[in-house]
């Protein structure tokens, strides 16, 4: 059985790649003859890393300069037509087009013809070819542009399986005209990834706080206030890190996207410039680059608590059972924290209140073991619901996948 997996994979975002990996593991472990093909942002990276075939999600790239000029003269119609044929060739023999997790249907730092349009195009071609479509624990919203909303509605229409990673997504899609009655809400599929081995933390050592640093410059692409938003966030978070160091904590800087490297470098420089030589010599600030959620979870395992913004930083911290504070840039963080009874430890990145953050951190310390037990109990429920989705999805795939003529003939002769 051939299944195509569509998403922003290979682009340097560890959460997106973790979602892909989780779906690959589910399908390969439950469907012995499955043949997987990723439609993604960086086919070479995905093929090398996961050992599956991969194709680019975008329009055909014309290599011949003469053809490029001719296509532009004709309003790019030739390239668009050829792109459709290329998409049809990619989906040839595919039984299911699966969108595994991620916040695939929002317009964070995107245009009206961004990923909602990409998903719409592929779902349209899939329906024309009678390929079944599944959206699995996706995130969606907000979508501010009317075109983006229209693309999302059309992409979801006619899907054979739809589930969302939170009630926020389901409610949002219902508000823009998607018929969500009967659709499922299940945990983010990255919760299916295995935990790394746990290590005993030296109780005599300094407590370590994982602090996620994000290259955040506003929700809207090319926001005129982008630089001010970024500098304000950097200043507040650096002051909080210095507060932690002054309290005797060690800080481990965490990331979730290749684009965060610049922000981390600037943050480390800013903080170390304010540290005493003694704190510098003790290694009060630690940063080690990560490229996937496994490495991120290994780093989080070496912390006692976490303060972060990126959604899959929060997922990993909760999965690892760490008390944490979410500095979110979307409702998705709040809904996830609510699943673990941790709403008192939420803030928003653009209205970040440093005094409140320090107060939240103090409450985190005072109720540390109670919070750990709450997170541990919630993880049991997350695991049960994740397994439930895997069972329902695989039943749906098997039930709606036509039997090949060869297998049908064998069945009749038995």
Q: Is residue 37 one of the residues assigned to a domain?
A: yes
Q: Which of 269, 370, 264 is nearest to 309 (CA)?
A: 264
Q: Is residue 32 one of the residues assigned to a domain?
A: yes
Q: Is residue 259 one of the residues assigned to a domain?
A: yes
Q: Is residue 11 one of the residues assigned to a domain?
A: yes
Instruction: Tell me: do 291 and 235 sit in the same domain.
Output: yes
Residue percentage of the chain with pLDDT more than 70:
90
Instruction: Tell me: do 172 and 254 sit in the same domain.
Output: no
What are 253's two structure tokens? 């800087």
Instruction: Tell me: do 162 and 103 sit in the same domain.
Output: yes
Query: Is the four-CA dihedral 120, 125, 127, 133 of positive or negative sign?
Result: negative
More confident residue, 413 or 154: 154
Q: Tell me the C-alpha distance between 51 and 348, whole Å.
A: 39
Q: Is residue 43 one of the residues assigned to a domain?
A: yes
Q: What are phi and psi of 226, to 5 degrees?
A: -55, -45
Do the beta carbons of residue 338 and residue 328 sit within 8 Å?
no
Instruction: Tell me: do 24 and 110 sit in the same domain.
Output: yes
Instruction: Tell me: do 231 and 183 sit in the same domain.
Output: no
pLDDT confidence band for 197 (50 / 70 / 90):
confident
In tens, the pLDDT along 340-368 reads 999 999 999 999 999 999 999 999 999 99
Q: Give the pLDDT score at 405.
A: 37
Residue 113 preceded by cis peptide, ω within 30: no
Q: Tell me the C-alpha distance between 142 and 330, whole Å.
A: 8
More confident residue, 18 or 277: 18
Q: Tell me the C-alpha distance between 64 and 149, whole Å.
A: 35
Q: Residue 231: which domain range?
A: 208-366
In tens, the pLDDT along 199-238 reads 665 554 559 999 999 999 999 999 999 999 999 999 999 9
| Average pLDDT for 378-398 | 97
Instruction: Tell me: do 256 and 110 sit in the same domain.
Output: no
- Within 13 Å of residue 383, how many CA atoms lie on the same side as its CB? 12
In tens, the pLDDT along 131-160 reads 999 999 999 999 999 999 999 999 999 899
CATH number at residue 344: 3.40.50.2000
Instruction: Tell me: do 246 and 331 sit in the same domain.
Output: yes
Q: Is residue 255 one of the residues assigned to a domain?
A: yes
Q: Tell me the C-alpha distance between 15 and 275, whole Å.
A: 32
Q: Is residue 69 one of the residues assigned to a domain?
A: no
Q: Is residue 246 one of the residues assigned to a domain?
A: yes
Q: Give the pLDDT score at 404.
A: 46
Give the single-character DSSP code of 208.
E
Q: What are phi and psi of 350, to 5 degrees?
A: -85, -10
Instruction: Tell me: do 134 and 282 sit in the same domain.
Output: no
Instruction: Tell me: do 110 and 25 sit in the same domain.
Output: yes
Instruction: Tell me: do 298 and 165 sit in the same domain.
Output: no
Instruction: Tell me: do 156 and 216 sit in the same domain.
Output: no
User: What total number of domains does the chain contain?
Assistant: 2
What are 117's two structure tokens? 């349009």
Mean pLDDT over the full length of the chain: 92
H-state helical runs in 199-353: 226-246, 261-272, 277-281, 293-301, 311-319, 331-339
Instruction: Tell me: do 100 and 146 sit in the same domain.
Output: yes
CATH number at residue 155: 3.40.50
């Amino acid at each position: 059985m051939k299944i195509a997996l569509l998403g922003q994979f290979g682009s340097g975002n560890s959460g997106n790649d973790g979602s892909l990996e989780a779906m690959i593991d589910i399908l390969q472990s439950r469907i012995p003859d499955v043949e997987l093909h990723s439609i993604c942002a960086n086919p070479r990276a995905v093929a090398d890393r996961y050992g599956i075939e991969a194709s680019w999600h975008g329009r055909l790239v014309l290599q011949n300069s003469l053809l490029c000029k001719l296509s532009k003269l004709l309003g790019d119609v030739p390239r668009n037509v050829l792109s459709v044929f290329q998409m049809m060739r990619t989906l040839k023999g595919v039984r299911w087009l699966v969108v595994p997790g991620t916040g695939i249907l929002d317009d964070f730092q995107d245009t009206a013809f961004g990923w909602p349009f990409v998903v719409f195009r592929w779902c349209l071609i899939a329906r024309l070819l009678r390929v079944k479509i599944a959206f699995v624990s996706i995130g969606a919203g907000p979508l501010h542009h009317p075109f983006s909303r229209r693309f999302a509605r059309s992409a979801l229409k006619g899907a054979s399986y739809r589930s969302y990673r939170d009630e926020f997504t389901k409610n949002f899609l219902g508000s823009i005209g998607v018929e969500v009655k009967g659709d499922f809400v299940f945990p983010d599929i990255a919760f299916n990834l295995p935990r790394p081995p746990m290590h005993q933390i030296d109780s005599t050592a300094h407590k370590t706080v994982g602090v996620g640093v994000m290259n955040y410059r506003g929700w809207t692409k090319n926001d005129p206030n982008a630089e001010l938003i970024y500098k304000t966030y950097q200043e507040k978070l650096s002051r909080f890190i210095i507060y932690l160091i002054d309290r005797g904590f060690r800080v481990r800087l965490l990331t979730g996207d290749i684009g965060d490297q610049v922000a981390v470098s600037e943050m480390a420089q800013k903080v170390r410039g304010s540290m005493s030589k003694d704190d510098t010599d003790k290694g009060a600030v630690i940063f080690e680059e990560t490229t996937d959620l496994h490495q991120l979870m290994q780093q989080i395992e070496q912390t006692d608590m976490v303060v972060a913004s990126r959604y899959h930083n929060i997922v990993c911290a909760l999965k690892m059972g760490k008390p944490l504070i979410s500095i979110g840039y979307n409702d998705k963080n709040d809904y996830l924290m609510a699943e673990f009874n941790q709403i008192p430890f939420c803030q928003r990145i653009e209205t970040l209140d440093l005094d409140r953050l320090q107060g939240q951190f103090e409450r985190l310390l005072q109720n540390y073991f109670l919070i750990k037990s709450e997170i541990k109990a919630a993880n049991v429920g997350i695991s049960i619901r994740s397994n439930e989705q895997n069972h329902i999805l695989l039943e749906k795939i098997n039930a709606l996948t036509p039997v090949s003529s060869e297998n049908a003939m064998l069945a009749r002769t038995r």
